[in-house]
């Protein structure tokens, strides 16, 4: 009896060991939980550098000869005083760490960016994309029965070319007459062009002038293909006091030639800095424009990798027969050295396959540092979330 009291029994030792092990495991788990909380709560700000548009030099009035219809002619004018350009600063996004990244680095989280989501807050959807604005003046000389239209300048035009810029010019109409039009000079590689060109419509009775609509269309000049529309402005002349020159600023709106209803494309970008590569995943499209007589299309997608103005590599998806809402889910890997990233553009073109004639272009997307607001945001989010697939809807453009 005395021996049993002095020596702990086997059950007591076993219980003590279990309690000790339980306490140790509890302490370790608490430490892991605290570490996870610190990781999940950590926020870091995007410090990417925004790329500004090139500064434009002020246009100089020059004498020039343009063949015009009998109702109009051009005249030179002195440069108008410039106005301060208001640049909208890009809002910073806050990338979030995924739980899978804490467990292991093998699984990547796909970030889905769409209009109205938290990550896209502060950025307008494709339907309200900023197309820039144009400054012009208009007035009527009653003694000479002449309408004067002066195209001054434009600001914050979107990039339409591979190089991240545009070659804009302006077409001038007096609707409903679409046969006779006047044009400004082309301003090469300029998103803030100055024209300062004056156009005179002579022999126009005032009673007819007030029945017309001044229509200005800004386009991007392309030597080898169709000029790309940038935006338009319509001003009924009966809404303006034409007794003296009126200077106006107008925001450009999408052109009403159908270019704004070409459909949308969902794609993701995944940047791997260690491998110097970008994975482009063409996911799906919706509401594509019907290009065939039967009211449908046979869409496929071409992806061009551009460095400066040179085409480097092309890849394409399969053709989806008779489908306006195709699902592709095809990924393409492009090798891009880090030092070339700023001069790289990924051009995505949705095509309509045609066996009997040339394939039609449904719409395009330009992804780079210098594209439109939605495209630039997608590019920056890709850089801010390395090794993660960042998905976003894009409006197809002409």
pLDDT of 264-306, one tens digit each?
A: 999 999 999 999 999 999 999 999 988 877 788 999 999 999 9
Percent over 70 (pLDDT), the chain:
71
pLDDT reading at 310 higher than 90: no
* pLDDT tens, position by position, 179-224: 778 999 999 999 999 999 999 998 889 999 999 999 999 998 877 6
Quick one: pLDDT at residue 37?
A: 56
Structural domains in the chain, sorted by start: 133-251 (2.60.40.150), 263-396 (2.60.40.150)
Q: Which long-range contacts (CB under 8 A, 24 or more apart) does 257-262 make?
A: 257/229, 257/398, 258/289, 259/229, 259/397, 259/398, 260/127, 260/395, 261/287, 261/289, 262/288, 262/289, 262/350, 262/362, 262/363, 262/395, 262/396, 262/397, 262/398
Predicted confidence at residue 351, as pLDDT, reads: 93
Strands of 309-353 (E only): list them: 310-316, 327-335, 344-352
Q: What is the pLDDT of residue 178?
A: 76
pLDDT in tens, 66-120: 333 444 444 544 343 334 344 333 333 333 334 334 334 333 445 555 433 333 3
Q: Report the pLDDT averaged over residues 156-174.
A: 86
Query: Which of residues 218 and 63 earns the better pLDDT score?
Result: 218
Write phi, then psi, for 63 (nearest 5 degrees).
-75, 135
Q: What is the pLDDT of residue 116?
A: 34
Q: Is the pLDDT of residue 40 over 90?
A: no
What does 70-105 look like in DSSP terms, one character per residue?
TT-EEEE-PPPPP----PPPPPPP-----HHHHH-S
Residue that is written with structure tokens 């080898």 in the block: 224
Torsion over CA: 104, 110, 113, 114 (sign): negative
**Does residue 386 or residue 398 have the better pLDDT?**
386
> Which residue would you say has higher pLDDT here, 190 or 44?
190
Q: Considering the chain, what is the average pLDDT of its residues?
A: 76
Alpha carbons within 13 angstroms on the beta-carbon side of residue 20 total: 6
């Amino acid at each position: 009896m005395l021996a049993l009291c002095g020596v702990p029994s086997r059950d007591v030792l076993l219980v003590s060991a279990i309690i000790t092990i339980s306490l140790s495991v509890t302490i370790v788990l608490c430490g892991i939980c605290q570490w996870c909380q610190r990781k999940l709560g950590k926020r870091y700000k995007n410090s990417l550098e925004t790329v500004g548009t090139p500064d434009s030099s002020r246009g100089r009035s020059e004498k020039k000869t343009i063949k015009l219809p009998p109702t109009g002619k051009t005249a030179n004018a002195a440069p108008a005083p410039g106005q301060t350009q208001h640049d909208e600063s890009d809002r910073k996004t806050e990338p979030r760490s995924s739980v899978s990244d804490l467990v292991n680095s093998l699984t990547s989280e796909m970030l889905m960016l769409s209009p109205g989501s938290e990550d896209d807050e502060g950025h307008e959807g494709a339907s309200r994309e900023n197309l820039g604005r144009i400054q012009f003046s208009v007035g009527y000389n009653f003694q000479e029965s002449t309408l004067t239209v002066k195209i001054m300048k434009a600001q914050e035009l979107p990039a339409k070319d591979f190089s991240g810029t545009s070659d804009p010019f302006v077409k001038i109409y007096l609707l409903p007459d679409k046969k006779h039009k006047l044009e400004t000079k082309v301003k090469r590689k300029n998103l803030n062009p100055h024209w300062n060109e004056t156009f005179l419509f002579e022999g126009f009775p005032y009673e007819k002038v007030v029945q017309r609509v001044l229509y200005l269309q800004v386009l991007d000049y392309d030597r080898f293909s169709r000029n790309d529309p940038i935006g338009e402005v319509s001003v009924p002349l009966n809404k303006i006091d034409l007794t003296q020159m009126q200077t106006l600023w107008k925001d450009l709106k999408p052109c009403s030639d159908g270019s704004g209803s070409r459909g949308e494309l969902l794609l993701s970008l995944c940047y791997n800095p260690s491998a110097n590569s970008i994975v482009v995943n063409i996911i799906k499209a919706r509401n594509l424009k019907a290009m065939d007589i039967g009211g449908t299309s046979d869409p496929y997608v071409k992806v061009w990798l551009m460095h400066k103005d040179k085409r480097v590599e092309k890849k394409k998806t399969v053709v989806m027969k008779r489908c306006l809402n195709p699902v592709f889910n095809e990924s393409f890997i492009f090798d891009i050295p880090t030092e070339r990233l700023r001069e790289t553009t990924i051009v995505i073109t949705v095509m309509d396959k045609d066996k009997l004639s040339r394939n039609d272009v449904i719409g395009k997307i330009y992804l780079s540092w210098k594209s439109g607001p939605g495209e630039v945001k997608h590019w920056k989010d890709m850089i801010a979330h390395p090794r993660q697939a960042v998905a976003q809807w894009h409006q197809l453009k002409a």
